[in-house]
Amino acid sequence: MENLELYFRMLDKKLLERLKYYCHPDAPKEIIVHSKNVFDFSEDYKSEIMRELFDPSKRDVKVTYDIEIKGRNVTIMRDPVMNGRITVIIHREPKNATLTFSEAYEILKHVEKILDVNISWGKPFPRGSC
């Protein structure tokens, strides 16, 4: 996980250097990260949220869970299109200050604790500069 943290810090440097090029001064509005892990519906999860996301009766339905972590609205989502992967969307609000990749990384670590599973994260995708 250390290499991923360094990668997020490198993205921060690029973000802060290029901040003047965004239409919105606090861009990005959100950062989206998908898990590399594929989770199974048949597994017995300890976390209430994971049980809700992977409820077999909702296999073909997009399931979302909204929570506030460290002053940011965070959406944890399982979409049938993503084949068992978890998507986390970290929003700029309500803190309404620049959302950095390092902060997103810290929030992802917190999400892992809440879900009580080890997650291998993909590369972050910033969205919404205008």
Q: Residue 81 corresponds to which tokens in the numbers above?
A: 């299109």
pLDDT, averaged in runs of 10, over the chain (130 residues): 78 72 65 96 93 95 96 96 96 84 94 96 82
Structure confidence at residue 116 (pLDDT): 96
Cis before residue 94, ω within 30 degrees of 0? yes
Q: Residue 73 corresponds to which tokens in the numbers above?
A: 């609205």
Structure confidence at residue 27 (pLDDT): 64
State the chain's maximal CA–CA distance in angstroms. Answer: 48
Answer whether 45's CB lies under 8 Å from 119's CB.
no
